[in-house]
Amino acid sequence: MPVLILTARGSWHEKVVGIDGGADDYVAKPFRMEEVLARLRALIRRAGGHAAPELTSGSILLDPRSARVTVEGKPVKLTSHEFRVLSYLMHNRGRVVSQAELTEHIYSQQMDRDSNTVEVFIARLRKKLGTGSIETVRGLGYRIGVEA
């Protein structure tokens, strides 16, 4: 679990103590929220094994900063929900993600959740990305990024 310290204490000695104490990054006040969010994104990428901001799986490239997806270098247009499903699968590359987990990720708490919608988004993504892009693990969920 990545740790980011946000504090009013900004001396070099306190930063060293914080990082030596287990923190992955340290931000002292005053700070801009954009910087904090960028540092959080970097920590999450590194924790997930993604040093580069772009996520790849085979010929699929997803850039979360620009919300762009390409397959073999050609742009692919996705709806916001399709993008969120693909992004979540790619952030969890190689791991089986259950339908319930995907549903929790793409919908806010207040929205009505239809159990069939994730299947619809997966079918649309397969059509746009290629049929072998997302694997169904029967009874468990979906997985991306495991080449046969």
Q: What is the pLDDT of residues 52-95, one digit of tens each?
A: 678 888 899 998 878 899 999 999 999 988 998 998 898 888 89
Cα separation of 87 and 72, whole Å? Answer: 17
Domain that holds residue 19: 4-47
Shared domain for 43 and 66, answered yes or no, is: no
Domain count, the chain: 2
- Output the domain CATH number for residue 68: 1.10.10.10
CA 45/CA 91 separation, integer angstroms: 8
- How many other C-beta atoms can be found within 10 angstroms of the C-beta atom of residue 51? 8
DSSP state of 109: T
Same domain, yes or no: 25 and 67: no
| Same domain flag for 41 and 92 | no
Are 97 and 40 in the same domain? Answer: no
Residues 6+ apart with CB under 8 A from 66: none
Are 77 and 133 found together in one domain? yes
Q: Which residues contact 30 (CB under 8 A, 6 or more apart)?
A: none
Tell me the whole-structure pTM to 2 decimals: 0.65
Per-residue pLDDT of the chain (148 residues), as tens digits, is 788 888 988 888 888 888 888 888 888 898 888 888 888 888 887 776 655 678 888 899 998 878 899 999 999 999 988 998 998 898 888 899 999 888 887 776 555 556 688 899 999 999 999 888 999 999 999 999 866 4
CATH number at residue 30: 3.40.50.2300
